[in-house]
Amino acid sequence: MSIQSIKQRFGVIGNSGRLNRAIDIAIQVAPTDLSVLITGESGTGKETFPQIIHHLSPRKHNSYIAVNCGAIPEGTIDSELFGHEKGAFTGAVDTRKGYFESSDKGTIFLDEVSELPLSSQVRLLRVLESGEFMKVGSSKVIKTDVRVIAATNINVLKAVRDGRFREDLYYRLNTVPIEIPALHDRKEDIILLFKKFAQDFSEKYQMPPIKLDDEAQNLLLNYRWPGNIRQLKNITEQISIIGQSRIITAEEMKLYMPSYDNQQLPAIYKGIDNETFSSEREILYKILFDMKKDMNDMKKVIQKLLNKEETTHSFSDNSDYINSFYASDEFIEKSQATKQYNIKHEESINIQDTEELVEESLSIEVKEIELIKKALEKHKGKRKMAANDLGISERTLYRKIKEYGIE
């Protein structure tokens, strides 16, 4: 089957080389039973590729089940995947089949596989290696013949280094890797996608399709697209409904496209992790060390002036000379910069000693607790909304609350 026919069948739009390469790999691996790990940013369309692989495989007439691992609470994930026996836990009023048993001879797609707890990762590894698993609350081994395709939007190797993902499971899943390019890496497809979405929404809402002038097209091509195809589709739908004119200018387009740089400023809404705090730590170190260097330079200048004038001037003369230095443009500029910095950070940083400041402000655990409490307070204890605000899954938030004992 050709790449072009696959695009038409599954609604894949674009002609970039990296996209075509990903489709080609999917076509080649489909007839096998090899595990596949699909990586790419959120919103790039990773969910389409498991369907391509399944429908081109000998398993196409059997079941295909897609599971969002990040949307299932940690306490029930094993039951969902592997099933449970009656009475295995509170609420288990009957025996239940899990996804792996239900999809025997078929394909199971594990989206956000990196969100699986370590205990579930062990169970998954056993299924991949031997095709065996046990239901929750049972000691009976069940055999299953399932093709596993997984996807994630994070750096799995970093998760392995951080101890959040099993290395042996990573290499078992990553038998055949497929990387889906981000939208900003396939700029030649952006206008094509916009036109397709505009035509679709024109038919859906029974109105003329919107079009872009030259400046608006350039704006789309130069935008970072942090939400990838999903964001482009949402913006196109908004403009199709709300836009007064059917010819969209760059100025009107900007109303629907938040600045990518501004989106990155509130880092807590992009996900709280060690990388975020490492970046903040580097910035804080630089600010503090620059301030310390400036203060040391001023001390040296003052000491030099004192030593120089000791033999030729009286103490009063020295005082006059030093006072003139304190009144100089150089000292005033440094003092004002230091004062502004202190005013800006006086509520969050108490500068008694440089080393003490860094240690106090860089506690990841304290910051995490503080941010979680703020998010919960903001949304009146609604964990789902708080998790969305923090950029993490609801299950991860629940685990953090339990870990830190947050009321």
- Give residue-wise pLDDT tens across range 284-310: 656 666 677 777 777 777 777 777 655
Q: Report domain extents, the chain.
A: 3-181, 184-264, 274-361, 364-404
What would the pLDDT profile of 32-78 be if each residue is shown by its tens digit?
Answer: 999 999 999 999 999 999 999 999 999 999 999 999 999 998 889 99
| SS3 label, residue 56 | coil
Dist CA 345 CA 358 (whole Å)? 13
Question: How far apart (Å, rounded) are the C-alpha atoms in residues 47 and 43?
Answer: 9
CA distance 368 to 319: 50
Phi and psi dihedrals of 139, rounded to 5?
-110, 5
Contacts of 31 (CB under 8 A, 6+ apart): 56, 57, 58
H helices, E strands: number in the chain? 20, 9
Burial group, residue 398, by CB count within 10 angstroms (0-12, 13-18, 19+):
middle
Quick one: fold of 364-404?
A: Arc Repressor Mutant, subunit A (1.10.10)
Give the start-end residues of each E strand in 219-341: 247-248
Reported pTM: 0.63
Residue partners of 119: CB distance under 8 A and separation at least 6: 78
Q: Which of 2-11, 183-192, 358-367 has the lowest mean pLDDT?
A: 358-367
pLDDT at position 179: 96
Cα 368 to Cα 299: distance, rounded to the nearest angstrom: 38
Give the SS3 label for residue 143.
strand
Q: Is domain 184-264 given the CATH code 1.10.8.60 in the classification? A: yes
Q: Give the CA distances from residue 22 to residues 38, 67, 154, in Å, rounded to whole numbers and listed in that order.
A: 9, 22, 18
CA dihedral in degrees (112, 115, 117, 121; nearest 10)? 30
- CATH architecture entry for 3-181: 3-Layer(aba) Sandwich (3.40)
How many of the other CB atoms lie within 10 Å of CB of 94? 8
